[in-house]
Chain A
Amino acid sequence: MIRRLLRRCLLGLLTLAGVSVLAFLLLFAVPRDPAAAMCQKNCDTARLERIREEWGLADPVPVQYLTFARKLVTGEEGCPAPCLGRSYVTGEPVGAMLARALPVTASVVLPAAVLWVSSGVLLGTVAAARPRSAVDRLVGALSLAGLALPLYLVGAVLLLILVYGTATLPPPGWTAPSADPAQWASGLLLPWVTLGAMLAPGYTRLARAQVGDALSTDFVRTAEAKGLTTRAVVGRHALRASAGPLATLAALDVGAALGGTVITEITFGLNGLGRTVIEAVRTDDLPVVLGAVLLGAVFVIGANTVVDGLQAAIDPRLRR
């Protein structure tokens, strides 16, 4: 088990190195000149050249990558490893910018994930336990509708009704949870509910299918024959047998969402990783874009590793 995890971690690091090369080449090979953005009103060629020299932009792209990789591993003065370089716009270390944005994104994603996974799986399981019933049909229709509605529409409508129209909820916003937990929760309630409602249908449909399949297997029939209650059969046996695919989907969704929930953040006006990346792209702030891409890759690779661990914990056959 430990060897398996170590192997996955090593593979993850190699994947990350590959992502960093690809992302660097893609971003830095595009014909943009960040020095022009840094140069000011009376900019001329000589000053452009000096800025390029100062920031290492005059070097060939492979040399720039090696410099970036060296800083990533060894750091530099004022930017300890893993140093992602400095923003072209502000000169601030990219790591510090991402560290500021991450708590916002994590505050939106993690509680919403609890909502979307738990509600989605619960509804799917209930529907699977009563196949072809009215409940099953209602859940199916609702989940289909949920999948069809885009978040930016539902979010905007809920904002108009619940925040601006009826003042039922406070305007969305982020407060540090350590400073005021109640305000943190109230400011994020609407994004949680919306994101949860938008992603839950996928889990509902997967749980409906997986649990439904499990309920038609021999071991479930054996359990029923032993006289176990429906709740025990579904909860202890069918749901556990379906947990692998559901955990895989949940971990990948959370990993990807932590990399930046762009639409959610834009809809609700939250400055998390998604917004940071959008703004960095707009201002040609390539080190920030690159840093965010790498952080997103870390989350996805990390989520994969967690999935491996979870699946091994759920399915004893994988531990061998």
Chain B
Amino acid sequence: MTLALVLAACAACTDNPRDGGTPPDGDIRQNTGVIATDPAASRGPAPEVPGATPGGTVTIFRETTLARLDPQRISAFMGLSISQLYARRLTTYADDGNGTLTLVGDLAETPGTDVRGDCRTWEFRIKENVRFETGAPVTARDVAYGIARSFDLTLSGGPTYLQEWLADTPQFDTVYDFAADRTALPPGVEVPDDRTLRLSFPKPHCDLPFAAALPATAPVPAAADTGLDYDKKPIATGPYLIEGRTGDTELRLVRNPQWDPATDAVRHAYPDRFTLSFGADPVTQTNRILAAQGADAAAVSFDGVPPSLISKVTGDGLLRSPTPRHSVLNINTRRVTDLAVRRALNAAIDREDLVKAVGGASVARPVTTLLAPSTIGWRDYDAYPGPASPAAGMPELVLAHPDDAEGQILGTVLANSLRRAGFRILTKAVPADDFLADIKRPDNPWDLYPDHWAPDWPSGAAVLPALYDGRGIKATGGNNGTSYLDARPLDAEFDRILAMPLDAQGAEWAALDERIMREYAPAVPLYVELTCTVRGPRLGGLFVDGVIGSPAFVNAFVRP
């Protein structure tokens, strides 16, 4: 009921997609995606945003400072979002803010060419007139150098897909030692000429165009690489460059005169500058934007609106959308081996209660699928709508949760839900610092525990094989799939879909999602997190990025 009321209340104040209008249903976003193989789709300039005018300063509030600017070291949401303004990648997403994602070439003329049609060898042709802020042209070697430096463990923090795929092992730094010879290239990386980058993998990786959209593929001029210090001021290729910072209080981005909109199908450079302001907590951020004094009228909160202040946000100031961040109650299938028990657990959870407990409809939305609704091809279903009917004589189950405020709430609500359905549940509070590392060990002593996953691209390939392919379970720990599902019949299915063209994968992953749930029930899907944030009345063109679920700034403009 609460959920319905809040949704109704927000129906008239939902988000502002890239065209500045209101989407037909701002709260249910399902991405549909295409790969734009026609080079014309990757060319600029990006379509004009209605009503947008150049000039002004956009202020972005965040409580904690931005940890990293070095594109090879970025994995956090704000870094991913802000780096889009200054660090171009091989590919990127044209996102209409309503769920249509088109993967286009960013530095590259197209989202890559699968040379032999087996997803093992990919070529990217670098666009003409793409330049660094210094005026130097971006070459394929600069991109290759960026990829090479991501092998250096000293420069940690970024994603490791490309490194692991090229080296064909998670221990990629043992295959290629960047520090030993910075002029060499990692295995599988070739630069036949200044504009061609070739990546060859021992195994097929049809997902490469998605992985290439992460900022790890941003070019770095070898001569400008100062190692850890490169983080202070990476050389820009996007419409903005880093002008400077004031302590840990403010980071300023100004227009990059070397950026050529004719080469960019996605970004605009309407505002004169972006100011990232660090320090204010979410309550203060919201209050400042609602007060809309001076520069705050064109500000946005990156941390979101606290539930207690939602009712104060009126008009079209609320920017809200489900994110790909997906929470589940994982069932340790090594311990809970009876499928009937796992199915009954699924039928027992009251998701509405849970959503209320974690903050209400402003922060979460219930789901019954293993894939988040933002996944391309997602299809809704509920394999176990309840009511639960646990058989008599079931073993007592241990539900572990982090011993912090959020973990306590989750643990209590989940345990109560299960007990009401007739399960015998013992809760175990685990020190929050140890919780993740502990559940990532396959010999952990618990039956149930909450976990979450935020995929790096909007494909089932970044979720189902990563979490439910039993061949990837590591006995030494560090597992992402903490339900430890090890089902041989699924192996061939993972391989089959992963080898399919990207365009055809969406529906297949959705079907596999349902099959895994119906045949194995390795987890209880709980909810997806929502981005719910506020922007000032003079700030236009914002939308929630369909890939990372954070505010996107590529179309931002300041109303006069």
Contact = CB atoms under 8 A, between A and B. Distances in A.
Interface of A: 31-33, 36, 38-48, 50-51, 54, 78, 86, 89-92, 97, 100-101, 103-104, 159-160, 163-165, 167, 170-171, 173-176, 179, 265-266, 268-271, 275-276, 279, 284
B170 A42 contact: yes
The size class of the interface chain B forms with chain A is 35 or more
Given A32-B433, A171-B280, A265-B279, 19 more contacts: A39-B478, A41-B159, A42-B164, A43-B478, A44-B170, A45-B476, A50-B173, A51-B153, A54-B153, A86-B228, A91-B156, A91-B228, A104-B247, A104-B249, A163-B288, A164-B288, A171-B293, A174-B279, A284-B433
A36 B437 contact: yes
B337 interface: no
B477 interface: yes
A90 B173 contact: no
A308 to B, nearest CB: 32
A47 B171 contact: yes
Contacts of A40: 75, 156-160
A92 B246 CA distance: 16
B65 interface: yes
B247 A100 contact: yes
Given A167-B293, A170-B293, A44 B247 contact: no
B247 A164 contact: no
Contacts of B278: 271
Contacts of A270: 249, 279
B327 interface: no
Instruction: Find the residue from A45, A86, A91, A97 having the highest chain B CB count within 10 A.
Output: A91
Instruction: Find the residue from A38, A78, A164 having the highest chain B CB count within 10 A.
Output: A164
Given A32-B433, A44-B478, A92-B231, A175 B246 contact: yes
A100 B281 CA distance: 20
B474 interface: yes
Contacts of B184: none
Contacts of A163: 288, 291, 293
A79 to B, nearest CB: 10
Nearest to A43: B478
B160 A266 contact: no
Contact of B65 (A31, A42, A173, A271): A271
A154 B237 CA distance: 46
A101 B247 contact: yes
Instruction: Find the residue from B68, B173, B281, B478 having the highest chain A CB count within 10 A.
Output: B478
Given A41-B159, A54-B154, A91-B228, A46 B170 contact: yes
9 contacts: A38-B156, A50-B153, A78-B229, A91-B154, A91-B156, A163-B288, A164-B291, A276-B248, A284-B433
A90 B281 contact: no
6 shortest interchain CB distances as A-B pairs: A269-B280, A45-B476, A269-B279, A91-B228, A44-B478, A271-B248
Interface string B136-163: 0000000000000000011111111000
Nearest to A101: B248
A271 B474 contact: no
A100 B248 contact: yes
B480 interface: yes
B291 A90 contact: no
B115 interface: no
Contacts of B288: 163-164, 171
Contacts of B287: 159-160, 164
B231 A279 contact: no
A31 B159 CA distance: 27
Contacts of A275: 248, 279
